[in-house]
Amino acid sequence: MTRYTSLAALFAATSSALAQPTAAQTELTMYYPIAVGGALTEVVDSIVADFMAENPDITVNAIYAGNYDDTRIKALSALEAGEPAQLAVMFSIDAYDLIEQDMIVPFESLTDDQDWLNSFYPALMANGQIEGQTWGIPFQRSTIVAYYNKDMFRAAGLDPEQAPTTWDELVEMGKALTTDDHHGLMIPSTGYPYWMFQALAIQNGQELMSDDGTTTFFTDPAVVETLEFWKSLSSEHGIMPEGTIEWGTLRQAFLEGDTAMMWHSTGNLTAVKNAAPFDFGVAMLPAQERLGSPTGGGNFYVFKDASEEEQQAALKLIQFMTAPEQAAEWSISTGYMGVSPAAYDTEALQNYTAEFPPALVARDQLEHAVAEFSTFETARVRDGLNAAIQSTLTGETSAQDALAEAQAAAERQLRAYK
285-304: average pLDDT: 97
88-101: average pLDDT: 95
Q: What is the pLDDT of residue 67?
A: 86
Task: Give yes or no for residue 4 having a pLDDT over 80.
Answer: no
What rounded mean pLDDT belongs to the chain?
93
351-367: average pLDDT: 97
Residues 282 and 310 grouped into a single domain: no
Quick one: pLDDT band at residue 69, thresholds 50, 70, 90?
Answer: confident
Distant-in-sequence, close-in-space partners of 35: CB < 8 Å, separation ≥ 6: 66, 67, 68, 267
Q: What is the pLDDT of residue 17?
A: 40
CA distance 103 to 87: 11
Quick one: pLDDT band at residue 10, thresholds 50, 70, 90?
Answer: very low
Task: Give yes or no for residue 393 having a pLDDT over 70.
Answer: yes
Residues 83 and 171 grouped into a single domain: no
Q: What is the pLDDT of residue 19?
A: 41
Q: What is the pLDDT of residue 288?
A: 98
Residues 179 and 310 grouped into a single domain: no
268, amino acid identity: N
Please indicate, yes or no, if residue 320 is contained in any of the structural domains.
Answer: yes
The dihedral over CA atoms of 226, 230, 236, 241, expressed in degrees to the nearest 10, equals: 180
Residues 129 and 154 grouped into a single domain: no
Segment 156-201, tens digit of pLDDT: 999 999 999 999 999 999 999 999 999 999 999 999 999 999 999 9
Quick one: pLDDT band at residue 7, thresholds 50, 70, 90?
Answer: very low
Residues 175 and 231 grouped into a single domain: yes
Q: In DSSP terms, which residues pair with 137 in a beta bridge?
A: 300
307-328: average pLDDT: 97
Please indicate, yes or no, if residue 37 is contained in any of the structural domains.
Answer: yes
- Other beta carbons within 10 angstroms of residue 352's beta carbon come to 18
Total of domains in the chain: 2
Q: What is the pLDDT of residue 257?
A: 98
Please indicate, yes or no, if residue 355 is contained in any of the structural domains.
Answer: yes
Residues 395 and 361 grouped into a single domain: no
Residues 250 and 354 grouped into a single domain: no
Low-confidence winner among 38-47, 78-87, 115-124 (lowest mean pLDDT): 38-47
The domain boundary residue, chosen from 344, 367, 390:
367
Task: Give yes or no for residue 390 having a pLDDT over 90.
Answer: yes
Please indicate, yes or no, if residue 12 is contained in any of the structural domains.
Answer: no
Please indicate, yes or no, if residue 4 is contained in any of the structural domains.
Answer: no
Task: Give yes or no for residue 406 having a pLDDT over 70.
Answer: yes
Residues 308 and 290 grouped into a single domain: no
Residues 151 and 241 grouped into a single domain: yes
What are the DSSP E strand ranges found in 173-233? Answer: none
Please indicate, yes or no, if residue 151 is contained in any of the structural domains.
Answer: yes
Classify residue 175 by burial, with Cβ atoms within 10 Å: 0-12, 13-18, 19+.
middle
Residues 219 and 284 grouped into a single domain: yes
Please indicate, yes or no, if residue 7 is contained in any of the structural domains.
Answer: no
Residues 225 and 363 grouped into a single domain: no
Interhelix angle 308-321/324-334, nearest 10 degrees = 60
- Print the domain residue range for 319: 26-141+296-367
Low-confidence winner among 66-75, 103-112, 158-167 (lowest mean pLDDT): 66-75
Between residues 18 and 289, which one has the greater pLDDT? 289
Please indicate, yes or no, if residue 248 is contained in any of the structural domains.
Answer: yes
pTM of the model: 0.89
Q: What is the pLDDT of residue 34?
A: 81
The enclosing domain of 79 has a CATH number of 3.40.190.10
The domain boundary residue, chosen from 367, 391, 408:
367
CA-closest candidate to residue 122, choices 329, 337, 340, 346: 340
Residues 312 and 218 grouped into a single domain: no
H/E element holding 134? strand 133-134
